[in-house]
Structures are given as C-alpha cells and as structure tokens.
Amino acid sequence: MELRIGKNGKAMIVKIIKMTIMSQKDLLLSPKNWSRIANLFKRLQQSFRLMVGVPDYQTYLDHMKKHHADLTPMDEKTFHRYCVDSRYPSKGGNLKKCPC
C-alpha cells in the first residue's frame, strides 16, 4: 500500500486507524484485553493533561507519600487550582514552583 499524505492527509490518517482497528478487531473485542485498553486510555488521558500543563493528581499523591509523609496532601480540587494558578499567575507568582 502506498501512502501519500497531501490534501487528504486527515482522511488518510482516519483510514489508517480504521484499517488497523478492523484488522485487530478480534483482539480489541476480546474481554482479556479490555483492561489493557482501559490502561491505554488512562495513559493517553494523563499524557494529554501533561501536554496542556495539568499535572496528574495520583502522581502528586504518590510523591507526597514517598517524600513528604509528615505533610497532609491537598485535595484534588485545591491541587488543580494551585497548578493553574502556578502556571498562569495572577498575583506575580513563580512559574517554576513545585505543587508540594
């Protein structure tokens, strides 16, 4: 198969994804692989959040447990608010601050 990506580049990528899914549908629809697929989506979600600058809350909790066991970690809502305020400071905050 010859792949040429030009004007229809987006359509070609969609076709490639569709062909990949159709050729692997027995594997994808198998109950044995559902946990792997769920894990893949979880990792993709985490990657997309990191791309836009939103750290992972579970990673923060693990870090707090390992390195700062004596401190109480922030709840999830406060953590995300802190991260947004650190990234986009409205009161002259420091962008390189660690949320812990």
- What does pTM read for this prediction? 0.48
Look up the domain containing 83 and give its range: 52-88
Confirm whether 64 is domain-assigned: yes
> What are the tens digits of pLDDT across the range 46-78?
888 788 777 888 889 999 999 999 999 999 999
Q: Report the length, in residues, of the chain.
A: 100
> How many CB atoms sit inside 10 A of residue 45's CB?
11
CB 57 within 8 A of CB 78: no
Q: If we measure between CA atoms, which residue out of 100, 92, 14, 22 comes closest to residue 61? A: 100
Domains contained in the chain, number:
1
Tell me whether residue 34 is exposed, middle or buried, using C-beta atoms within 10 angstroms of its C-beta: 0 to 12, 13 to 18, 19 or more. exposed
| Between 56 and 92, the higher pLDDT residue | 56
Confirm whether 18 is domain-assigned: no
Q: If we measure between CA atoms, which residue out of 92, 80, 79 comes closest to residue 52? A: 80
Confirm whether 94 is domain-assigned: no
> What are the tens digits of pLDDT across the range 2-51?
555 555 556 777 788 788 778 877 777 777 778 888 888 888 888 887 88
Confirm whether 61 is domain-assigned: yes
